[in-house]
């Protein structure tokens, strides 16, 4: 077996976009704990409540090695000017790595606002890649998505599948981001690592995602929407695995362009997920059956041999354990919000 090409890094200065969100705030937790300097870019998009993101980063704001820039990735001039602002002493002026997690998210909303998704997810990525090239920042880690596989019939999905046909605007923007990364790697010498996340869940999960959305509705005694016949399956991946994969990608030097699946390599059906939520929340779900939604994938399933081989990626948290941790977090979050579930 080829040895992993990722190793522990000396702490540097990480630029993290979307660093107030679900995955980003967890990543920043670890970076700060390990002595990194972190600049976060987040525009607090109103897709969900700004107060939720503010809670995610409350513990970061008083740390000397952290700064938050509230700027929009679509505005190249404002973005580049903000990023060029000095931060502390001479050891904090240059960026070691860019981790680009920010995006307009959500498959269904992308059907309603395809141009908005194109502007943020493609033009925003272009602006950040241009900055990396101009400032000679070698390492660029990009959050892509399992949705780029569309309805690819070859399961589990492998990075070797090149004839990808996304079935919603969100997925098309993520695939475009990967292609832009290839251009900047091949032509301008950046090292671009694209990470296809598979249905990430756990503490701080976005409130629109199924596990979080269903949990709040169930605790409030409301019906949960189930589309189609409930037979869809997802490769649920606990956030800690994703962050570990991101950290390994920040240190990866094996090539100048790579794409990795970050998943669990195990699928769980929607109805099984609901039953497991009933167990951890100790409530019975009421189901509101609805028609299948266009642009939705019926199954996601990751082949993770490549990240295991090249990043040392390992799945350590099973779905049931992750659900229990999420349920405990949600109870505490509801307390902070005043106890209102849904």
Give the pLDDT mean for 322-342: 87
Distance separating alpha carbons of residues 40 and 86, to the nearest angstrom: 14
Total tally of structural domains belonging to the chain: 1
Q: List, for residues 298-318, the tens digit of each pLDDT value.
A: 899 999 999 999 999 999 999
pLDDT-based confidence at residue 246 (cuts at 50, 70, 90): very high
pLDDT score of 29:
98
Task: With respect to residue 44, please indicate whether it lies within any of the assigned structural domains.
Answer: yes
Q: List, for residues 258-291, the tens digit of each pLDDT value.
A: 999 999 999 999 999 999 999 999 999 999 999 9
Task: With respect to residue 339, please indicate whether it lies within any of the assigned structural domains.
Answer: no
Q: Is the pLDDT of residue 1 over 50?
A: no
pLDDT score of 92:
56
Q: Is the pLDDT of residue 131 over 50?
A: yes
CATH of the domain at 42: 3.40.50.720
The more confident residue out of 6 and 227 is 227
pLDDT score of 339:
63
Among the listed residues 66, 170, 238, 313, the single catalytic one is 170
Task: With respect to residue 230, please indicate whether it lies within any of the assigned structural domains.
Answer: no
Task: With respect to residue 164, please indicate whether it lies within any of the assigned structural domains.
Answer: yes
Distance separating alpha carbons of residues 238 and 244, to the nearest angstrom: 10
Task: With respect to residue 206, please indicate whether it lies within any of the assigned structural domains.
Answer: no
Task: With respect to residue 321, please indicate whether it lies within any of the assigned structural domains.
Answer: no
Task: With respect to residue 231, please indicate whether it lies within any of the assigned structural domains.
Answer: no
- In three-state secondary structure terms, 320 is helix
Q: List, for residues 198-236, the tens digit of each pLDDT value.
A: 999 999 999 999 999 999 999 999 999 999 888 899 999
**pTM of structure:** 0.95
Place of tokens 């606990």: 238
Give the pLDDT mean for 171-183: 98
Between helices 319-336 and 210-219, what is the axis angle to 10°?
A: 60
**CB under 8 Å to 291, separation ≥6 — which residues?**
227, 228
pLDDT-based confidence at residue 293 (cuts at 50, 70, 90): confident
As given in the structure block, the two tokens for residue 290 are 């609805």
Q: Can you give the three-state secondary structure of 126-175, one letter per residue?
A: HHHHHHHHHCCCCEEEEEEEHHHHCCCCCCCECCCCCCCCCCCHHHHHHH
Q: Is the pLDDT of residue 16 over 90?
A: yes
Q: Residue 170 catalytic?
A: yes
pLDDT score of 72:
96
Task: With respect to residue 61, please indicate whether it lies within any of the assigned structural domains.
Answer: yes
Provide, rounded to the nearest whole percent, the portion of the chain with pLDDT above 70: 95
Residue 99: which domain range? 13-200+238-263+303-316
pLDDT score of 340:
66
pLDDT score of 47:
86
Q: List, for residues 66-111, the tens digit of each pLDDT value.
A: 999 999 999 999 999 999 998 865 455 689 999 999 999 989 999 9
């Amino acid at each position: 077996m080829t040895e992993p090409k990722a190793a522990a890094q000396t702490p540097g200065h990480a630029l993290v976009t979307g660093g107030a969100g679900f995955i980003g705030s967890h990543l920043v937790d670890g970076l700060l704990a390990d002595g990194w300097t972190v600049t976060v870019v987040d525009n607090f998009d109103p897709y969900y409540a700004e107060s939720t993101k503010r809670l995610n980063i409350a513990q970061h704001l008083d740390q000397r090695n952290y700064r938050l820039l509230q700027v929009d990735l679509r505005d190249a001039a404002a973005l580049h000017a903000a990023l060029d602002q000095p931060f502390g002493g001479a050891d904090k002026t240059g960026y070691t790595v860019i981790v680009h997690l920010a995006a307009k998210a959500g498959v269904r909303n992308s059907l309603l606002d395809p141009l908005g998704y194109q502007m943020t997810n493609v033009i925003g990525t272009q602006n950040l890649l241009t900055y990396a090239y101009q400032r000679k920042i070698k390492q660029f880690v990009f959050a892509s998505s399992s949705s780029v596989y569309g309805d690819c019939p070859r399961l589990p999905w492998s990075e070797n599948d090149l004839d990808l046909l996304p079935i919603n605007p969100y997925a098309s923007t993520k695939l475009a981001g990967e292609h832009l990364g290839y251009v900047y790697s091949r032509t301008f010498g950046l090292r671009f690592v694209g990470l296809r996340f598979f249905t990430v869940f756990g503490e701080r999960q976005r409130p629109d995602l199924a596990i979080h959305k269903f949990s709040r509705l169930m605790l409030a005694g409301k019906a949960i929407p189930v589309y189609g016949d409930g037979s869809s399956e997802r490769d649920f991946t606990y956030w800690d695995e994703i962050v570990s994969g991101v950290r390994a990608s920040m240190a990866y030097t094996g090539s100048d362009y790579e794409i990795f699946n970050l998943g669990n390599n195990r699928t769980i059906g929607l109805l099984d997920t609901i039953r497991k939520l009933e167990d951890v929340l100790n409530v019975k779900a009421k189901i509101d059956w609805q028609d299948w939604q266009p642009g939705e994938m019926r199954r996601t399933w990751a082949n993770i041999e490549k990240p295991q081989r090249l990043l040392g990626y390992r799945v350590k948290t099973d779905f049931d354990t992750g659900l229990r941790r999420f349920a405990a977090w949600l109870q505490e979050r509801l307390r902070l919000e005043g106890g209102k579930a849904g």
